[in-house]
Structure 1
Amino acid sequence: MSYTPVSHIADLRPGLSIRYEQAGQGRPVLILHGGGGTATVAGIARHVSASALTILPTHPGWNGTAKPDDVQTVADLAKAYLALLAHLDLRDVIVIGSSIGGWIASEMALHDADKRISSLVLVNAVGIHVEGEPIADPFVLGPRGLAEHAFHEPDKFFVDPASLPAEQQAMQRANMATMRIIAGAPFMHDPQLRERLRQVGIPVLVVWGTSDRVVTIAYGLAYADAFANARFTAVPLAGHLPHLEQPVKTFAIMDEFMQTRNA
């Protein structure tokens, strides 16, 4: 499948620019990455671009981009992406969010006064508090421990940061530092988000790798239950990034949901 994204920079206001890649044609789909950066969701963008217009941004402060001083929370990022949708004059948008990207997507739906978003796809999202289901802390686990929690087959996907070029190691450290600012206190969640999600009336698909120990399947079921109109679908033999470990199964689930939304 040919995938030739075009890079753009949207200047949304003084001090806030968002770098994004665009590919495909059709209904717009905004794809939001997790803490690992855009590479973790590039496969989703490649797949979806075959039948839709994909917008894949880099969160401000990730991968060498600038983070404005007034972007301090996930809600701030959500508002920035709503401004991006307005800047691009996009409507009837499907937002796909992985991990912290799913949290951003949920916040976007709550703040979407212009009704630009028509549905959400949340992939092993963080952002809510579920009693008895703590979110694993990558700052405590370290790279190998995180891989053990995040993947069904960690040996297949773990890359020792020490084996990477110095520039890439520095970028990973900078990404983690930004994530600590954006989602570090309270850690990886908003205590009020779960209750507020009942206000979201648009259709939501919650996709979950069943082997995830960063956020467990019980956490995912609670996430889906928080919405007024959500469907939960599990992906066996996959962890926190099911689209990497089980792409065929994961994309089939997404395709069915998105095609239904187009009907």
Structure 2
Amino acid sequence: MTYLIIFLLLGFTVLFYLTYSPDISAIVIKKRWSYDNSKFVNIDKISVHYIDEGKKDAPVLIMLHGLSASLHTWHDVTKTLTKDFRVISLDLPGFGITGPWEESKKYDSKNYSKFVEKFINKLEIFSYTLVGNSFGGEISWQLAKNHRNKINALILINATPRLAPFKNWLIGWKLAYLPITKQLSLYFLPYFVTKNSLRRVFKNKDIPFSKFQQYSELTLRVGNRAALISLLKSYSFDPLLFAGDKLNIPTLVVWGEEDEVVPFDYTKEFILNSTNTQLEIVSNAGHLPHEELPIKTSKLIKIFLKPLID
């Protein structure tokens, strides 16, 4: 019995050592994951990380990432877009370098859309196209509904108007949501959790270690895990999202056909509630076609927005 206890204690110690993942300070995260052209602006009492690149007098694209992502998701697709557009991406509150809101703020699409509106006004941008992936697509739609006169076009990439079905959730989201594990998720982030999650969102399973490291460390930014728990706990579908007249803004819906997270029926809701939609299906891509196939995705965007740059 003594040997069994010792063995169990040793096993627990090794498991703790291998999986314990303390928060990483905002200063360290900023140093490791900022780009040379990173910028910061204060909104809602937080320092918002963003990138503003391309031609300053060109049509503006505002890029909004999804859950557990960051502006880094747009890095490769932006390389070709900046030849014709001014491209602005940001880390939404609770993600990336930006970090969380104050505790009283509810993490829902309405508050996020209000936040993005403040960000856009702060940069004094009066005409733009919204590009949203996943949850960023819902935020984009919220903005489009309320500011139709400012928005030139809407681009939705594997977008969803609601959280994916629980059975489709990434393992990290499930751990952050379930009562029995959500507190543990504040202190532990085993490598297999990040690995499993990324292998779910990418069609190509040959993912470089640097990608695992990026997603893992930005999740560990102090406050981000608590923000995710808060978002998953408080989020609810907005019954007014598709209320009223259908959206008549030119809308491009890009769909990575191997998406294991968001069902196409969810994305289809945007199509059914728009009068001016074009659907482009991207083969050999999952939930993040702009990361897996950035050249193909940027080409679709440029063709669709050609009237803006002619």
TM-score range, shorter chain: 0.7 to 0.9
- How far did 1:39 drift? 1.5
CA contact (8 A) 1:144 1:160 kept: no
Cα distance in 2 between the residues matched to 1:7 and 1:84: 15
Query: How does the TM-score come out when normalised to structure 1?
Result: 0.81
- How far did 1:227 drift? 2.2
> What residue is the counterpart of 1:77 in the other structure?
112
SS at structure 2 position matched to 1:195? coil
> What residue is the counterpart of 1:20 in the other structure?
50
> What residue is the counterpart of 1:230 in the other structure?
277
Query: How does the TM-score come out when normalised to structure 2?
Result: 0.70
Q: Please state if 1:136 is matched with 2:136.
A: no
Letter in 2 for 1:24: G
Cα distance in 2 between the residues matched to 1:197 and 1:135: 31
Letter in 2 for 1:46: K
After superposition, give the CA deviation of every residue in 1:205-239 in whole Å (9 maximum; x if it has no partner).
11010000101333323332222322211101100
SS at structure 2 position matched to 1:260? helix
Letter in 1 for 2:204: E
Q: Please state if 1:221 is matched with 2:268.
A: yes
Structure 1: where are the runs of 5+ without partners? none
After superposition, give the CA deviation of every residue in 1:145-188 in whole Å (9 maximum; x if it has no partner).
4334322122x127599x849x82762685444234235444xx
> Greater relative contact order: 1 or 2 (C-alpha under 8 angstroms, separation 6 or more)?
2
Cα distance in 2 between the residues matched to 1:135 and 1:49: 38
Letter in 2 for 1:146: S
Moved more, 50-59 or 61-70: 61-70
After superposition, give the CA deviation of every residue in 1:50-71 in whole Å (9 maximum; x if it has no partner).
2111111111222242433254
> What residue is the counterpart of 1:260 in the other structure?
307
- How far did 1:117 drift? 1.8
CA contact (8 A) 2:95 2:219 kept: no
Cα distance in 1 between the residues matched to 2:54 and 2:210: 34
Q: Please state if 1:152 is matched with 2:203.
A: yes
> What residue is the counterpart of 1:88 in the other structure?
123
After superposition, give the CA deviation of every residue in 1:96-141 in whole Å (9 maximum; x if it has no partner).
111221121111112327x3222111111122379xx667212238
SS at structure 1 position matched to 2:278? strand
Over the aligned positions, Cα root-mean-square deviation in angstroms equals 3.1
- Counterparts of 1:40-59 in structure 2, within 5 Å, are 40-59=73-92
Letter in 2 for 1:44: V
1:170–1:109: structure 2 CA closer, same or farther, 3 Å change rule?
closer
Q: Please state if 1:195 is matched with 2:242.
A: yes
Cα distance in 2 between the residues matched to 1:27 and 1:60: 25
1:8–1:145: structure 2 CA closer, same or farther, 3 Å change rule?
closer
> What residue is the counterpart of 2:156 in the other structure?
122
Q: Please state if 1:6 is matched with 2:37.
A: yes
Letter in 1 for 2:270: Y
After superposition, give the CA deviation of every residue in 1:40-92 in whole Å (9 maximum; x if it has no partner).
12122222112111111111222242433254222111111112222222122
Bigger Cα Rg = 2
Cα distance in 1 between the residues matched to 2:308 and 2:232: 31
CA contact (8 A) 2:250 2:277 kept: yes
Cα distance in 1 between the residues matched to 2:218 and 2:116: 27
> What residue is the counterpart of 1:60 in the other structure?
93
Aligned residues: 251
Letter in 2 for 1:212: D
2:231 to 169, 179, 182: 182
- How far did 1:191 drift? 4.5
1:224–1:241: structure 2 CA closer, same or farther, 3 Å change rule?
same
Identity of aligned residues (%): 22
Structure 2: where are the runs of 5+ without partners? 1-34, 176-192
